[in-house]
Amino acid sequence: MAEPDKSERISEAEHAVMEALWERSPLTAAEVCEKVCQRRDWSMPTVKTLLSRLVSKQAVTTQPDGRRFLYSPLLDRTDYTGAESRRLVDRLFGGRAAPLFAQLAESEILTEDDLAEMEALLKELRQ
């Protein structure tokens, strides 16, 4: 699956719609709204606008289903989060991940469980 170019980056609102589609797809616009509208205080027209933008960015595809459309992601979630993580590290930490983790630790955002998971991952990566 491809990722949109930098000019076609996915906004935070569009990301909420993508999360719904990554969780389960294909979905109708009404089904996407069931997943995100109440939590975000959005209406159906808002969801349809966001879906339209995602289709134009080639992040989502549509398939006719009678008088409605079914929406499915074209972007793989893992590929997308990997690219966004890389952009974050590049933009805020000069391309180095260690300062990101130091910042998280200093801000007390990391829990003991987070630290244990990171230690296990580091051990795995070094083998």
CA–CA distance, 54 with 61 (Å, rounded to integer): 8
Angle at 38 between CA 33 and CA 39, to 5 degrees: 105
Number of domains comprising the chain: 2
Report the pLDDT value the prediction gives residue 47, as an integer from 0 to 100.
Answer: 97
Does residue 118 register a pLDDT over 80?
yes
Please report, as a single letter, which amino acid is at residue 45.
P
* H or E element, residue 65: strand 60-65
* Judgement on whether residues 112 and 89 belong to the same structural domain of the protein: yes
The answer to whether residues 37 and 88 belong to one domain is no
Find the CATH number of the domain harbouring 57. 1.10.10.10
Rg, C-alpha atoms of the chain? 18
User: Amino acid letter at 81?
Assistant: T
Q: Would the CA dihedral through 32, 78, 81, 122 be positive or negative?
A: positive
Range of the domain at 116: 77-126
Answer whether residue 49 is part of any domain.
yes
Residues 52 and 90 in one domain: no
Name the pLDDT band for 6 (thresholds 50, 70, 90). Answer: very low
For the four alpha carbons of 7, 32, 23 and 41, in that order, the dihedral sign comes to positive
Q: What is the mean pLDDT of residues 92-101?
A: 87
- Put simply, whether the predicted model's pTM sits higher than 0.95 gets the answer no
